[in-house]
Amino acid sequence: MNRPSLPQLAWIFFRRGNFTFGGGTATIAVLDQEVIESRKLVTREQAVLSFGLARLTPGTNLLAYCTALGWLTRGPLGACVALSAVSIPCSVLAIVLTVLYDSWLRKPLVATAMQGAIVAAIAVMFATGWTLIRPLRANTSAIKILFFSTGACIAALAGMPPIRVLLLAVLLGFAWPAEGRAS
């Protein structure tokens, strides 16, 4: 496998992480193409393990995945460089746009357009629920899917704090192992 310099690593994650629309999934796909196929920095097996462990890591999967790839290529410094390169530029852009939105919202036309945009953003939240469930359909029973997703939704609507719902899910999930043998 090739060993990139830290500036090269930063450039890869800066380009792929901050100029790809479509969220984490799209970014992981373009990163895989560059890191595995074009530059041969990690093997596909290493990338698959990193992706699986990134799914086990709380928070944003993309950030954990980039941290794992950085670690595999250049150790602790590589992990820090990858994580910073993929997160700082888009965070700065998010802050700038938030400031601009704040001032733009005073303009009537923008305020009106923003109402439509907010409706769409709420639609994204609903659709993201399905996006989270969809990859699990292949290896999770329908009963389990319905039990946890509907149960959590009903519990939250009934007033149970989200953190309590998640803790309950942890206990029940541990007691209800996934189908298939441990490898």
Partner 1 sequence: MKLWLLYLLLLKATCTTFAGLASLPVLRSDLVINHHWLTDQQLNTAVVVTRTTPGPAGLYIVSVGYLVGRVPGAIIAWLAMITPALLVIPLLKFAGRKAQHPRTKGLLQAIVLSSAGLLVASAFPLAREAATEPFTIGLLIVCIAVLLTRKVESVWVVLCAAVIELAASSLNLAR
Q: Which of 4, 13, 17, 81 binds partner 1 (CB under 8 A)?
A: 17
Q: Which of 1, 29, 77, 172 binds partner 1 (CB under 8 A)?
A: 172
- Residues between 39 and 68 that touch partner 1 (CB under 8 A): 49-50, 52-68
The span from the CA of 77 to the CA of 13, in Å, is: 14
Q: How far is the CB of 27 from partner 1 (least distance, A)?
A: 7
Tokens of 34: 């560059």
Q: Does 91 bind partner 1 (CB under 8 A)?
A: yes
Q: How far is the CB of 45 from partner 1 (least distance, A)?
A: 11
CB 151 within 8 A of CB 176: no
Dihedral of CA 68/72/75/77: which sign?
Answer: negative
The span from the CA of 42 to the CA of 34, in Å, is: 10
Q: Does 99 bind partner 1 (CB under 8 A)?
A: yes
Q: Which of 4, 10, 13, 24 binds partner 1 (CB under 8 A)?
A: 24
The span from the CA of 9 to the CA of 25, in Å, is: 20
CA 64 from chain centre, in angstroms, equals 8
Q: Which of 11, 30, 34, 71 binds partner 1 (CB under 8 A)?
A: 71
- Could you tell me which of 75, 74, 93 has the C-alpha nearest to residue 14? 93
Q: Does 23 bind partner 1 (CB under 8 A)?
A: yes
CB nearer to partner 1: pick between 2 and 94: 94
From the list 1-9, 30-38, 95-103, the region that binds partner 1 by CB under 8 A is 95-103
